[in-house]
Structure 1
Amino acid sequence: MAPVSPLFRRDRATGDDAPGVTGPARVDARTKNLTKRLTVGDVAIIDHADLDRVSAEALARCQPAAVLNAARSTTGRYPNLGPQILLDAGIPLVDDLGPSVMAVREGQPVRVDGGAVHVGGQLLAEGSVQDAATIEANTAEARAGLGDQMEAFATNTMEYLRQERDLLLDGVGVPEVRTEIDGRHVLIVVRGYHYQEDLAMLRSYIREYRPLLVGVDGGADAIMEAGLQPDMIVGDMDSVSDRALSSGAEIVVHAYRDRRAPGLQRVEELGVEHVVFPATGTSEDVAMLLCDDKGAELIVAVGTHDTLVEFLDKGRSGMASTFLTRLRVGGKLIDAKGVSRLYRTRISGWQLFLLALAGVFALVVALAFTTFGQTLFGLSGAWWDDVVNAVRSLLGIAPDAPTT
């Protein structure tokens, strides 16, 4: 979809016709929390440096009137994809508005005119409107700095390896769980890149192999949205619903190395059985390490990270744990994105048409050898002769003379 031009709507605060877009504010420094309550026509106010692809796609699905970012949507650290996704969706993005914009009250009418943000008829903040030219320039600048990022990644990887050497090499610190994993296929679902497409593509695999279903935080809700039941939920519990936590799945709370776990209190208040897994790194990596240590035969990953840009989306610390975890899991890990793309391109519409045509031909041949089919073809031939003679009569063409 092409970018939209500024709209003109009646300002809800003043009742006057005013340039720009107007809508109720939805404010949250954490984009994934904001999208849970963001609806069509709202003005999303975020504080998200280097707006990543997953967050931008979640915002675009909500169709806000505009997205206002207190931070820079592209800092130059790496060529992130978020701003381009919003541009393609026709959603205005105003960047680098500063911390004052985060003080807007939830639900307060906000008017956005170019890079200017007005609240209660007063100018609150001014930022930079992102368009094709600015996004291209920011992306080019970010690509130029990739070398520095890769050097920092190498340093951070060594630090992570030093901290988690025993866990990565010997599985020290992996908790005991009641779920039987040994010898089974495991499907780990993260609410990330193309997770819905991947889950849809894997339905036949799930029916045939009945893998253990592991949801990483909000991935548990993605499993339930697909009509399935999670067997285990792993994460810091910041983006998973109470419904999923109470579904009967085993709960593994991801904690920091000092055993601090922000999500532990919530789980305890719900009164659900759980274990704590202290480890550095991301929750999706913790889930993979757990399943690998407990003897999973195969790990299929849905919505996880595997490309350079996706690794960079996680930040340098997330990159290190993700990279080393995949080295640790090795040949057990299969990424569902590759499988779904392969299946999408194996059968074309033209091939399906030829297959259907072959089926019809086979049916006709089979009917030709039955009494019913021969009678049907005879009646069809007589009907066709009647149609041809009727058309000839209308056109004044004499019917064919009988042959002797």
Structure 2
Amino acid sequence: MTAATTAISGPARVDSSPLALARRLQPGDVAIVDALDLDKRAAAALAARRPAAVVNAQACISGRLPTTGALVLLEAGIPVVESAGQDVLAFRDGAQVTVEGDSVASAGRIADAGSRLTLEDVEQRIRVADQDLHVHVASFTATALDLLHRDADLFLDGIGLPELRLPVDGRPVVVVTSRFAGGDEVLARFARERRPVVIGVGDGADAARAAGLNPRIVLGDIDSVGEDVLRRASQVIVHDPAGRDAGLARAQAIGLSHDDCDASLASEDVALLAAHAAGASVVIVAGGRDGLLDYVEDRSTAGAGALLSRLVASGAVVDAAVLPALYRHRYSAWTAWGALGLAAAALLLAAWGTPEGHDALAGAWTWLAETVGGGA
């Protein structure tokens, strides 16, 4: 058999969101997702967990935009089947799945014929899509201008933003979005040392908690957020730009004290702007968007809203991905003095082990004892 037809088997892990799936994916699993135009960030999160294969119910690269998610997976040596149809999403989580060629099967059920991707095919489709990118950028720009005109009061004056009840002025804030995959040691160390206010956005609140961060504020659709995380938060702000009531119903059902926000922006952008308006010294976004394409490929107004929000708060916003290049571990005074003390002790022990050093230290000790004794 060729590499393209060799059968690959493993337990199915099913989630429409690649980033949510990446948090629980284990090496050897078969990742099953539902993502049109799989983006680079989501693919990298999946690749880091080393699945046996990735199966996408939709096209990984539709040709609309030069998305590179499939390329990231293939270059990592992970087989990819795209356009496998909605049937794969019905596979039972944990059930054994076999991927052979274009076929995906589990428990006797065979999904609609997908397409096993190759590097050559993906590279060619990216080149073709790249030729039309300027058209999408122009359309994106027009959408952003319309949005700015419609919501100028919110962007320019902060009207409609929720008021953060925790003291934020002059403090660092970390906004953890649902795209945060965890495993960021530098961010965790920054949080331990600088004690920022952590805002968990929707499912990002659970991701923050799992990463050792403490989301003091939870903002967004709380319908699927763990109850323990919600009750530990100092403030819960229910927000859904689509106008759904699931989060509000959840809050009422569990008797949770909460605030409401009806801004039309995505929750992560509301969190960013609210922190900036409250005077945060810096806003670190964990799980932010990755470059222009990540904004443009969002066919809703969310991409335009995200870019405008970044522009409004541009002087205070940093992506967690660049934190390792900007932040250095800060040692306490006790740590520094302790290190100096250990170094001095090591030098003294080394000197004591030589005849000359032994005599010198003995003479110094005698002199010190006589000096102190004479003074007494």
- The separation in 2 between residues aligned to 1:116 and 1:365, in whole angstroms, is 66
The count of residues paired between Structure 1 and Structure 2 equals: 345
Q: How does 1:218-237 map to 2 (within 5 A)?
A: 218-237=203-222
Q: 1:54 touches 1:193 (CA, 8 Å); kept in 2?
A: no
Q: Does 1:255 align with 2:240?
A: yes
Q: 1:255 touches 1:276 (CA, 8 Å); kept in 2?
A: no
**Alignment-derived partner of residue 212 in structure 1:** 197
Q: Does 1:326 align with 2:306?
A: no
Q: 1:6 touches 1:21 (CA, 8 Å); kept in 2?
A: no
When Rg is computed on C-alpha atoms for both structures, the one with the higher figure is 1
Q: Does 1:54 align with 2:47?
A: no
- The separation in 1 between residues aligned to 2:222 and 2:18, in whole angstroms, is 16
Q: 2:199 touches 2:215 (CA, 8 Å); kept in 1?
A: yes
Q: 3-state DSSP class of the match of 1:45?
A: strand
Q: 1:117 touches 1:123 (CA, 8 Å); kept in 2?
A: yes
Note the C-alpha offset of 1:157.
0.4
Q: How does 1:31-70 map to 2 (within 5 A)?
A: 31-35=18-22, 38-70=25-57
Q: Does 1:372 align with 2:348?
A: no
**Alignment-derived partner of residue 249 in structure 2:** 265
- The percent identity for this pair of structures is 36
Q: 1:93 touches 1:129 (CA, 8 Å); kept in 2?
A: yes
Distance 1:183 1:109, change over 3 A: closer
**Alignment-derived partner of residue 348 in structure 1:** none
Q: 1:76 touches 1:145 (CA, 8 Å); kept in 2?
A: no
In the alignment, residue 9 of structure 2 is paired with which amino acid? T
Distance 1:218 1:88, change over 3 A: farther
Q: How does 1:348-367 map to 2 (within 5 A)?
A: none
What is the aligned counterpart of 1:283 among 267, 279, 283?
Answer: 267
Unaligned runs of 5+ in 1: 8-18, 345-358, 379-404
Stretch deviating more after TM superposition (27-36 or 318-327): 27-36
TM-score scaled by length of structure 2: 0.77
Q: 1:39 touches 1:64 (CA, 8 Å); kept in 2?
A: yes
- The separation in 2 between residues aligned to 1:178 and 1:201, in whole angstroms, is 27
Distance 1:337 1:55, change over 3 A: closer
Over aligned residue pairs, what C-alpha RMSD do you find?
3.5
What is the aligned counterpart of 1:95 among 82, 86, 102?
Answer: 82
In the alignment, residue 52 of structure 2 is paired with which amino acid? A
Q: How does 1:4-403 map to 2 (within 5 A)?
A: 5=3, 20-35=7-22, 38-106=25-93, 109-119=96-106, 121=108, 124-192=111-179, 196-197=183-184, 200-202=185-187, 205-237=190-222, 240-256=225-241, 259-305=243-289, 307-312=291-296, 314-342=298-326, 372=352, 374-375=354-355
Note the C-alpha offset of 1:77.
2.5
- The separation in 1 between residues aligned to 2:190 and 2:92, in whole angstroms, is 47
**Alignment-derived partner of residue 371 in structure 2:** none
Q: 3-state DSSP class of the match of 2:214?
A: coil
TM-score scaled by length of structure 1: 0.73
Note the C-alpha offset of 1:176.
3.5
- The separation in 2 between residues aligned to 1:371 and 1:230, in whole angstroms, is 52
Distance 1:29 1:307, change over 3 A: closer
Stretch deviating more after TM superposition (168-177 or 318-327): 168-177
Unaligned runs of 5+ in 2: 329-339, 359-376
Stretch deviating more after TM superposition (238-247 or 146-155): 238-247
Distance 1:39 1:242, change over 3 A: farther
Q: 1:234 touches 1:283 (CA, 8 Å); kept in 2?
A: yes
Q: 3-state DSSP class of the match of 1:253?
A: strand
Note the C-alpha offset of 1:94.
0.8
Q: 3-state DSSP class of the match of 1:246?
A: helix
